């Protein structure tokens, strides 16, 4: 499912660049191979070029440089209506002057399909999103979630093998969004389609995708499975962007294969795994997930360095305890502990020692 | 709860026992009164300056007392004697008495004018009789016909009988090239006197053509306006609005300069070798000149409503259509165009209504063949002094526009009209 090389990719971006104004590159050397049947999410902050990439793939923007291939064929010059790519827009873009049924029949009609076949397909697509009774309504008479389903059904009704979705759930409330995430995932699996999905929401990206491409500043910062992205971020941007993260700036004290020690600003030394630092004395930012920090000495890994911390704030969150600590002069350090039997509740002002397994602390670029 | 109230008209009361509706009306009456007082000046303004002139025009088209007021005695004789009665000595006596009185009051020409509308060439008959009548001796039948034998003409008496009623539908007949025969039946006027029906047809056809041209030219411009980035769009908008900032007269005369035989357009065509020197096109003082100038002048009225419906249409609709497999033409026809219909309707109606009543431009560049019905209305108001006929023509114009409006409502729906 996951394309490893551009050759067996279903969709491939090869050295794609894009500039709108000839002054600034919005997309800088994009290389991306998407396998058939894959669910790939483009995640990134606003303005990072996600929509631009999607629009180039759909054919509404032309790549300034580079090649975009679909099923091995260069589609740079193919007009949008000949690409056969389904697309779900952020504002749904349901045609307001047509009923739901007419909206769904539109792609079939322009393909010259006969009426009876059309009706059968429309009905099937509506049933697929559980909207069978709404064929005669106008889009304006539907709720946001219903419109979303119709937009989805319309993008799927002509059996495209590739579907693009640009923040399709952005306008829905949390509960509906989670429900629709599930629906989209279910459709993806049952239909075997390839999905390229754009979102702001990292939770959405992590739960739905086979792989996530994290965009920033017109480049893919990391392309990896959700678990790799969370547990093994390649650089500080990804570590910061995905999930909650503690960062400790320092310099490399010693480096030895896949283990290094880092001296923090206040002179304390910690353990870490070097990721994109290679030499002694280099500046680094060590990233540790809050749930991987240990404060009970008996649980600490053998020989791990520990550092001093002072409890600033303790928040009871039900299943979790969230504790904010002052570590190495900064009081932004957060740890999370599960509310298990006999778990300690730390009190503000308490002095503790914290530590972690070296593989959980990643020495990344200093940003 | 809502169902209950709807099905069962239980009288709801306030806590102190007053009926709820009464309490509500009382609570709101002050606010309503205040709101009414706020709009009252405008209401009065509209009533005085807009509604009342229209009502007057409507009235004038069926009411013309020029004859009946100034010739009361003969009018009374017509009332007493049924149609077909030969005018007797009593009739002539009444007529001469009226002529004497009207002659003294210097209103005989007014009465004569009214008869003259129906029977051209009779005005002088009345003015002459007005001068001479006081010298006539009975029997008046003889002396008046001796003064001018036309006074015995049965046609004249027929016309006088008809105009002796202040209320009449004759002006509407005249406005559609019909007349009453001496026997009272309705017939078409002689071939060479038929002008109005042709002129109505020409006015509506030309207005339709102008509306179509405006749509043809205005639609792409409005689209550009809506699609271009802001700074180019505002520049283009200024160019669209520029005509509004120059006087109508200036614009029309500019077209005269451009279109005349030795004008810019012809000279360019000759210079480019498209036409020969002796083939210069006649584009002014005819229908074509009227059409070109009016299309230009009315164009903003088409562009602005179109722009206002196009601006909020997000580009994602057309993109969605394209991604669903539609060619750009299909996407335009099936998705974009239907969403701009309210603008087309509003712009079309606006341009059509304005051009149906347009006056200055056809008067200046229309020549003889480019005159429209409004020019004739102006002629009857300013020159021939036949206000009732002008009013009837104007009323027909108004009625046909209301008809058009009704038709539009039936076909497209007035609620879909979007003027801005
Ligand atoms: N049509 C355009 N003309 C000029 N610049 C554009 C255009 N569309 C996007 N840009 C610029 O390109 C950059 C990337 O925009 P893009 O829409 O791809 O971002 P995005 O990642 O989708 O952001 P968001 O999450 O906010 O939707 C932005 O800086 C934006 O200003
Ligand atoms: Mg976007």
Instruction: Kindly tell me if the per-residue pLDDT of B5 is higher than 60.
Output: no
Distance from CA of B52 to the nearest CA of A (A): 42
Residue for token pair 């923090």: A264
Atom of ligand 1 nearest to the CA of A218: 14
Atom of ligand 1 nearest to the CA of A215: 21
What confidence tier does B6 reach under pLDDT thresholds 50, 70, 90? Answer: very low
Fold of domain B197-416: MetI-like fold (1.10.3720)
Give per-residue pLDDT as tens, A259-303: 888 998 888 888 899 988 888 888 999 999 999 998 887 777 777
Three-state secondary structure call for residue A339:
coil
Distance from CA of A38 to the nearest CA of B (A): 20
Report the pLDDT value the prediction gives residue B148, as an integer from 0 to 100: 86
Mean pLDDT of B64-69: 90
Q: How far is the CA of A47 from the centre of ligand 1 (A)?
A: 5
What confidence tier does B420 reach under pLDDT thresholds 50, 70, 90? Answer: low
Distance from CA of A159 to the nearest CA of B (A): 11
- Sign of the torsion formed by the C-alpha atoms of B119, B124, B127 and B133: negative
User: Is A104 or B8 the better-scoring residue by pLDDT?
Assistant: A104
The ipTM assigned to this model is 0.82
Report the pLDDT value the prediction gives residue A212, as an integer from 0 to 100: 95
Query: Which ranges in chain B are annotated with CATH 1.10.3720.10?
Result: 197-416
Report the pLDDT value the prediction gives residue B338, as an integer from 0 to 100: 93
Q: Residue A158: list chain B partners with CB under 8 A.
A: 324-325
Mean pLDDT of B128-147: 87
Of the partner residues A81, A91, A111, the one whose CB lies closest to the CB of residue B322 = A81
What confidence tier does B10 reach under pLDDT thresholds 50, 70, 90? Answer: low
Between CA B235 and CA B221 the distance in angstroms is: 12
Report the pLDDT value the prediction gives residue A136, as an integer from 0 to 100: 93
- Domain locations in chain A as residue ranges: 6-236, 244-364
Give the closest residue (by CA) to ligand 1 atom 18. A49
Q: Residue A86: list chain B partners with CB under 8 A.
A: 323-324
Give per-residue pLDDT as tens, B301-339: 999 999 999 999 999 999 999 999 999 999 999 999 999
Q: Residue B314: list chain A partners with CB under 8 A.
A: 91, 93
Report the pLDDT value the prediction gives residue A5, as an integer from 0 to 100: 55
Mean pLDDT of B258-280: 89
Of the partner residues B323, B331, B339, the one whose CB lies closest to the CB of residue A97 = B339
Fold of domain A6-236: Rossmann fold (3.40.50)
- Sign of the torsion formed by the C-alpha atoms of A36, A40, A46 and A49: negative
The correct answer on CATH 2.40.50.140 for the domain covering A244-364 is yes
Atom of ligand 1 nearest to the CA of A49: 18
- Omega of the bond leading into A100 within 30 degrees of 0 (cis): no
Beta-carbon contacts of residue B407 (< 8 Å; ≥ 6 apart): none
Residue for token pair 């580009």: B315
Instruction: Kindly tell me if the per-residue pLDDT of B143 is higher than 50.
Output: yes
Report the pLDDT value the prediction gives residue B407, as an integer from 0 to 100: 87
Nearest CA in chain A to B327: A81
**Does the beta-carbon distance from B317 to A95 stay under 8 Å?**
yes
Of the partner residues B324, B328, B335, the one whose CB lies closest to the CB of residue A158 = B324
Three-state secondary structure call for residue B345:
helix
- Sign of the torsion formed by the C-alpha atoms of B232, B234, B240 and B246: negative
> With a threshold of 0.90, does the pTM exceed it?
no
Quick one: A37 exposed, middle or buried, by C-beta within 10 A (0-12, 13-18, 19+)?
middle
Question: Mean pLDDT score of chain B, rounded to an integer?
Answer: 88
Q: How far is the CA of B314 from the centre of ligand 2 (A)?
A: 15
Between CA B295 and CA B215 the distance in angstroms is: 10
Instruction: Kindly tell me if the per-residue pLDDT of B57 is higher than 50.
Output: yes
What confidence tier does B359 reach under pLDDT thresholds 50, 70, 90? Answer: confident
Q: Residue A85: list chain B partners with CB under 8 A.
A: 323
In chain A, which residues have pLDDT < 70?
1-7
Report the pLDDT value the prediction gives residue A4, as an integer from 0 to 100: 54
Residue for token pair 């010298």: B135
Give per-residue pLDDT as tens, B289-299: 899 999 999 99
Q: How far is the CA of B150 from the centre of ligand 1 (A)?
A: 90
Instruction: Kindly tell me if the per-residue pLDDT of B234 is higher than 80.
Output: yes
Report the pLDDT value the prediction gives residue B85, as an integer from 0 to 100: 83
Distance from CA of A92 to the nearest CA of B (A): 9
Q: Residue B334: list chain A partners with CB under 8 A.
A: 106, 110
What confidence tier does B183 reach under pLDDT thresholds 50, 70, 90? Answer: confident
What confidence tier does B419 reach under pLDDT thresholds 50, 70, 90? Answer: low
Is the shortest distance between the CB of A49 and ligand 1 below 6 Å? yes
Between CA B404 and CA A329 the distance in angstroms is: 81
Report the pLDDT value the prediction gives residue A305, as an integer from 0 to 100: 80
Give the closest residue (by CA) to ligand 1 atom 19. A47
């Amino acid at each position: 499912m996951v394309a490893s090389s551009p050759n067996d990719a279903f969709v491939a971006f090869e050295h794609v660049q894009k500039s709108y104004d000839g002054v600034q590159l919005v997309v800088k050397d994009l290389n991306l191979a998407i396998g058939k049947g894959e669910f790939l999410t483009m995640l990134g902050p606003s303005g990072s070029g996600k929509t631009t990439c999607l629009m180039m793939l759909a054919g509404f923007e032309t790549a300034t440089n580079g090649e975009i291939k679909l099923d091995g064929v260069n589609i740079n010059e193919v007009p949008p209506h000949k690409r056969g790519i389904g697309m779900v827009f952020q504002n749904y873009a349901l045609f307001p002057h047509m009923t739901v049924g007419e909206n769904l029949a539109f792609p079939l009609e322009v393909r010259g399909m006969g009426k009876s076949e059309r009706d059968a397909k429309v009905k099937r697509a509506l049933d697929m999103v559980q909207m069978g009774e709404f064929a005669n309504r106008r889009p304006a008479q539907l709720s946001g979630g219903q419109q979303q389903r119709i937009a989805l059904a319309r993008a799927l009704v002509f059996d495209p093998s590739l579907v693009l979705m640009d923040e399709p759930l952005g306008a829905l409330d949390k509960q509906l969004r989670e429900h629709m995430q599930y629906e989209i995932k279910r459709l993806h699996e049952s239909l075997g389609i390839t999905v390229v999905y754009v979102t702001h929401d990292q939770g959405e990206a992590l739960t739905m995708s086979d792989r996530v491409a994290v965009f920033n500043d017109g480049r893919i910062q990391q392309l990896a499975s959700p678990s790799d992205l969370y547990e093994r971020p390649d650089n500080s941007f990804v570590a910061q962007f995905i999930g909650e993260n503690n960062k400790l700036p320092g310099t490399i004290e010693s480096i030895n294969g896949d283990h290094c020690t880092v001296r923090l600003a206040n002179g304390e030394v910690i353990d870490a795994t070097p990721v994109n630092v290679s030499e002694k004395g280099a500046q680094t930012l060590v990233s540790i997930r809050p749930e991987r920090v240990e404060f009970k000495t008996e649980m600490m890994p053998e020989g791990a360095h520990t550092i001093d911390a002072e409890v600033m704030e303790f928040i009871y969150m039900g299943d979790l305890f969230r504790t904010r600590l002052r570590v190495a002069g900064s009081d932004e350090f957060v740890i999370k502990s599960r509310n298990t039997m006999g778990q300690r509740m730390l009190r503000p002002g308490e002095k503790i020692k914290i530590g972690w397994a070296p593989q959980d602390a990643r020495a990344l670029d200093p940003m | 709860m809502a169902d209950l109230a709807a099905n069962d008209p239980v009288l709801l009361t306030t806590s102190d026992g007053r009926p709820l509706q009464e309490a509500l009306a009382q609570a709101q009456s002050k606010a309503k009164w205040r709101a009414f007082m706020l709009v009252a000046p405008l209401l009065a303004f509209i009533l005085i300056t807009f509604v009342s002139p229209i009502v007057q025009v409507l009235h004038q088209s069926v009411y013309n007392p020029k004859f009946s007021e100034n010739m009361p005695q003969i009018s009374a004789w017509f009332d007493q004697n049924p149609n077909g009665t030969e005018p007797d000595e009593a009739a002539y006596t009444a007529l001469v008495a009226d002529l004497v009185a009207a002659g003294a009051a210097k209103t005989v020409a007014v009465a004569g004018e009214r008869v003259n509308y129906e029977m051209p060439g009779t005005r002088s008959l009345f003015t002459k009789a007005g001068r001479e009548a006081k010298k006539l001796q009975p029997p008046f039948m003889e002396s008046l016909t001796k003064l001018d034998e036309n006074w015995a003409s049965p046609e004249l008496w027929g016309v006088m009988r008809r105009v002796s009623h202040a209320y009449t539908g004759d002006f509407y007949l005249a406005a559609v090239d019909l007349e009453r025969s001496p026997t009272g039946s309705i017939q078409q006027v002689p071939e060479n006197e038929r002008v109005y029906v042709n002129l109505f047809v020409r006015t509506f056809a030309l207005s339709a053509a102008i509306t179509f041209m405006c749509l043809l030219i205005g639609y792409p411009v409005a689209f550009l306006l809506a699609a271009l980035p802001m700074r180019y769009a505002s520049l283009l908008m200024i160019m669209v609005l520029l005509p509004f900032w120059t006087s109508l007269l200036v614009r029309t005369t500019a077209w005269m300069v451009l279109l005349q035989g030795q004008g810019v357009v012809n000279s360019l065509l000759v210079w480019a070798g498209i036409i020969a020197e002796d083939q210069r096109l006649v584009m002014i003082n005819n229908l074509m000149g009227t059409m070109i100038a009016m299309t230009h002048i009315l164009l903003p009225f088409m562009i602005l409503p179109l722009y206002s419906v196009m601006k909020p249409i997000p580009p994602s609709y057309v993109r969605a259509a394209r991604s669903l497999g539609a060619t750009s033409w299909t996407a335009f026809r099936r998705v974009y165009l239907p969403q701009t219909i309210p603008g087309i309707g509003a712009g079309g109606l606006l341009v059509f209504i304005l051009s149906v009543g347009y006056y200055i431009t056809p008067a200046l560049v229309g020549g003889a063949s480019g005159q429209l019905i409004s020019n004739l209305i102006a002629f009857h108001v300013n020159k021939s002094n036949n206000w009732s006929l002008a009013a009837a023509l104007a009323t027909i114009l108004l009625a046909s526009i209301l008809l058009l409006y009704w038709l539009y409502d039936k076909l497209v729906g007035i609620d879909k009209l979007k003027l801005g």
